[in-house]
Amino acid sequence: MKKGMCVLTALCAGFLFIASGTHEKSVTPGEKVRTFVSISPQSYFVERIGGGLVTVDVLVKPGQEPHTYEPTPRQMVALSDAHIYFSVGFPFEERILRKVQSTNPKLLLVHTDGGIKRRMLEVHLDDGVTHAESRGDEPATREDGGEPIHGGGEPDPHIWLGPEQIGVQVRNIYRALADIDPSHAQEYRKNLDAFLADLEVINAKLSVLFEPYRGRSFFVYHPAFGYFADAYGLTQVPVELSGKQPTPKQIEGLITRAKKEGVRVVFVSPQFDHRSAEAIAEAINGAVVTIDPLAKDVLANLQGVAAAIEGAFR
């Protein structure tokens, strides 16, 4: 099957996962659907599908780190009046939603990650090879918002950066909006189709771009680009994992590997400390380049990230 078809094929596995809430908090005529999301990329998805029929509030603001996020009191108050919360699978969401449901039991919780096969995050070995590479991990399957059913290690949460996973998420968003606001279901469907068409064009373009580089590795400080790498036959080599700085021995192994593979760029994200990445780049006489996994316009960001990685390969 051609890569350009993978996103539409994946939609067959997309289901609407609602963990709690009822339709008692319905949308009245002329009222916009009040939605909450965890991160800016999700807001882009909801805005593309919902258009002018929705409002979107984002919990984790630009520059903040979602893995350790805590909501403000004002955000908790706003959540108590929302129609829908679109979760993406971060641990902090579970803590927040337990509190919110006590004040807003009618909140509709939609797991946009429902039906997505989770890849497993890499674990460093001292020689610069990751544990996932050495053992050939299979993705873990999440059938709901809970823990992965099989596979070891920690599931990768960065599902908004893979084209196949994006397709599943926007389909789940569409179904939730059409369900709670059926009078505008056709408009939501039209917006979904337009988004998927844009996604297919970009996915096909990037598949062609990376065809000559299949099997190549790129170094990145935070392992946010695993789904992106998997989609195009690449391998991300992370510097830090699970928020932990690499040990001196692991840094030495990463430097050795980078020199062996001819790596000249270490990618960093604006949300994280860059010192370890800078040390590796200096040791290999390379450069540090920033790519943002939390940029709002996901489709534009996919192309920007692709251009940066392809440029590092040349």
DSSP 8-state code for residue 155: B
Bigger pLDDT: 141 vs 233: 233
Q: Which two tokens stand for residue 3?
A: 């890569």
Domains 3-205 and 209-313 share a fold: yes
Looking at every residue in the chain, the average pLDDT score rounds to 83
Q: How many residues does the chain have?
A: 314
Give residue 138's pLDDT: 44
User: The pTM is what?
Assistant: 0.84
Q: What residue spans define the domains of the chain?
A: 3-205, 209-313
Pick from 154, 193, 168: which is nearest to 88 by CA? 168
CA distance 167 to 11: 6
CA distance 221 to 105: 40
CA distance 62 to 70: 14
Give residue 200's pLDDT: 98
Question: Any idea which architecture 209-313 has in CATH?
Answer: 3-Layer(aba) Sandwich (3.40)
Question: What does the pLDDT average to over 31-49?
Answer: 96
Superfamily of domain 3-205: Nitrogenase molybdenum iron protein domain (3.40.50.1980)
What share of the chain has pLDDT > 90, as a percent? 58
Position 152 pLDDT exceeds 60: no
Bigger pLDDT: 314 vs 243: 314
Segment 284-288 long-range contacts (CB within 8 Å, at least 24 positions apart): 284/255, 284/258, 284/259, 286/258
Residues 6+ apart with CB under 8 A from 69: 38, 59, 60, 90, 92
Pick from 63, 71, 61, 65: which is nearest to 97 by CA? 71
Position 9 pLDDT exceeds 50: no
CA distance 179 to 91: 26
Write out pLDDT tens, residues 174-183: 999 999 999 9
Give residue 124's pLDDT: 56
pLDDT category at 306 given cuts 50, 70, 90 is: very high
Give residue 81's pLDDT: 87
Cβ 151 vs Cβ 95: under 8 Å: no
Question: What does the pLDDT average to over 275-280?
Answer: 90
Kindly list the strands in the beta sheet with 18-20, ordered across the sheet, starting from the edge strand earlier in the chain. Answer: 18-20, 108-111, 84-87, 33-37, 54-58
Write out pLDDT tens, residues 228-274: 999 999 999 998 876 778 888 888 999 999 999 999 999 998 888 78
